[in-house]
Amino acid sequence: MEETFAVTGMKDIEAIEAVPFQDRVAETSTYAVIEKGAAVNPDALAISFLMDGDTWDQPTQVTYGDLIHKIRQCANMFHDLGIGPQDVVTYLLPNIPQTHYVLWGAEAAGIVNPINPLLEPVTIRDICRAAGTRVLVALGNLPGIDIWQKVMKIKDEIPTLEHVICIMGPGDSDRIHSFEQLVEKYPGDRLIFDRIIAPDDVSSLYHTGGTTGTPKLARRTHYNEVVMGWMIQTMGGMGRQTTVLCGLPLFHVNGTTVTGISPFSMGAHVVILSPRGYRDPSIIKNFYKIVERYGANFFSAVPTVLSTLMDIPVDDADISSLQYAICGAAPLSVEMFKRFEVHTGMKVLEGYGLTEGACASSINPRDGERKVGSIGIRMPYQLMKVVIVDEQEKYLRDANVGEIGAIIITGPNVFKGYVDEAHNKGIWVQDGWFNTGDLGRIDSDGYFWLTGRKKELIIRGGHNIDPATIEAALYRLPDVQVAAAVPQPDPHAGEVPVAYVQLAADSTMTGENLLEYARENIGERAAVPKAIHIIDTVPLTPVGKIFKPALRWDVIEKIYNKELAGLGDLAEKVSVSAGEDKVHGTRVAITVTPASGAERATIEKKIAKILARYTLKYAVIIQ
């Protein structure tokens, strides 16, 4: 019998918690809960896979009997290749059914390490080294996809790597295997090895950042993931008849959890929206037809996806099956929230989470009050609060209602720390309480509100400016689709705020219009941007978050190029490139083509004088 809950607020969360979690879910491993979900009805559809949006009515379909069979085959294959509870299987795969077979099969045998296949080869290599990868599974050498080329480039630079498995491609040695040929050698009706998976056994290592130096890998347990799957079912009102659309990548916790273990553990239906997910224009174009065809009940997305879908007409598609969309990763403007709900007739549930919390920590209740702009109430069985910390991030006291502080979490979904001990320094504010790095406040009803990240603060002459103050004001304009505030280097104040804005397609607003609006609507004078730059597309991470480092580097380049015009007739050409630096955080490379007769020493001395009041490290390259 399915358990169903109508969560309307914190009283319902507390009532749920009156029963210990272990009395609600007996299984303590991801393999066990998926096996249980598959047993509900082996003939039911587990996955409908769309190759692209233009063939939305021609899916490849996988039953639950097929799904658990393939997961067992993969688990047996990995075990036979030497994978045990402490060994790591890494995959570089797009959103295809095989990704789920590999993911859950790897967790049954050992530890899985999903990697974003869009990363550069050297970063992929470094993650594999940090994880201690023994088996690497990757997509074959297919037209327009360079995953296999990346693997071939780095495979000999990973000391622990013993086997490479190619999906949709041939094997050519004892070390490089064809997935299709190898996996069929193993039974799928049972596991051929005996393993008792303990709740605290590590199930996965997810890359959470650190593209230079040692990658930051979050160590999560089977119980973390089992608990999170149940939490999402409960807060989303998911049932066995639910159909979920998967458009976020399967190397990210949202894709693997909200549209993975959560529906699979109860026998629900997942529609995979092409290998590229929401990045496939044909999926977006035919989105509402897909909803009608599969009777989709909900999907998980980021604000940029909702913004794009608002430009797609629903026309005569019947999308009445859609109950809600879960939206996270970045702030959603009130205007966009309202416009999307009117456009689709569905609810938007804003939430918040992070890899270290297994996926989600809070969400606006589906059946209760949704406070627009908030990240909702905490998940059941996980505690979440706002605290005041000192400059060394040490706990001082709990914050008062409405007081801004650091958001911290604890509970059975919270991870066991990072692989590299250096990354664990200072992350636990109190015993078992993880510092998310986000700033926020809590209201009297238990709803949390994000106010920014401490590390993103703009410090203007010692005055801390929260970027959210600027962004929230700009988002009140219907013309603004995406807004991001970042620091601009300043010779006097150190930093001053600037903003980058992506406008709606039909907008005629100018940067000056936006600045005038900002001056009138941002109450904090120091927070009014020095400039607002309109750009066609705000840079995003692969999961749809605004990639602020690219904007910071862009504004550095703008300022330094302007300042270095002061070289005058010493230089024929000057170009500036800013980027990430392992030691200093940011690097600036200044390339100068000298004018005829100009001496190198003279140019370098002049540059030193021009940039004397800026703090960023730079290197001069004379061509």
* pLDDT tens profile 161-212: 999 999 999 888 889 999 999 999 999 999 999 999 999 999 999 998 643 3
- Using alpha carbons, select from 538, 555, 552, 594 the residue that is nearest to residue 571: 594
Distances (CA, A) of 476 to 329, 343, 480, 501, 539: 19, 18, 8, 13, 21
Residue 212 sits at the vertex; the CA angle it makes with 208 and 216, to the nearest 5 degrees, is 25
How far apart are the C-alpha atoms of 103 and 309, rounded to whole Å?
30
Task: Provide the sign of the torsion angle of the four alpha carbons 232, 233, 238, 240, taken in this order.
Answer: positive
| Residue carrying structure tokens 């066990």 | 32
With both helix axes pointing from N to C terminus, report the angle between 511-521 and 467-475 in degrees, rounded to the nearest 10.
110
* pLDDT tens profile 198-247: 999 999 999 986 433 578 999 999 999 999 999 999 999 899 999 999 99
How far apart are the C-alpha atoms of 529 and 588, rounded to whole Å?
23
Encoded amino acid at 622, one letter: I
Q: Mean pLDDT check: name the lowest of 5-9, 282-286, 376-380, 528-532.
A: 5-9
How far apart are the C-alpha atoms of 179 and 101, rounded to whole Å?
11
* pLDDT tens profile 10-61: 999 999 999 999 999 999 999 999 999 999 999 999 999 999 999 999 999 9
Task: Compute the CA torsion angle 275, 329, 416, 162 (nearest 10 deg).
Answer: 20
Helix (H) or strand (E) holding 384: strand 383-389
pLDDT at 455 over 80: no
Kindly report whether the global pTM for this prediction surpasses the value 0.75. Answer: yes
Q: How confident is the model at residue 339 (pLDDT cuts 50, 70, 90)?
A: confident
Q: For position 211, what pLDDT does the model report?
A: 36
pLDDT at 1 over 50: no
Q: 12-45 in b/e burial notation, b at 16+ Cβ within 10 A?
A: bbeebeeeebeeebebbbbbbbbbbbbeeeeebb
Q: Mean pLDDT check: name the lowest of 52-66, 406-420, 455-469.
A: 455-469
With both helix axes pointing from N to C terminus, report the angle between 64-80 and 30-40 in degrees, rounded to the nearest 10.
150
What domains can you pick out in the chain, each with its CATH number?
Answer: 10-381 (3.40.50.12780), 457-546 (3.30.300.30), 554-622 (3.30.300.30)
- Using alpha carbons, select from 262, 185, 268, 194 the residue that is nearest to residue 228: 262
Q: For position 307, what pLDDT does the model report?
A: 80
The neighbouring-strand residues paired with 500 are 484, 533
DSSP letter at 259 equals I
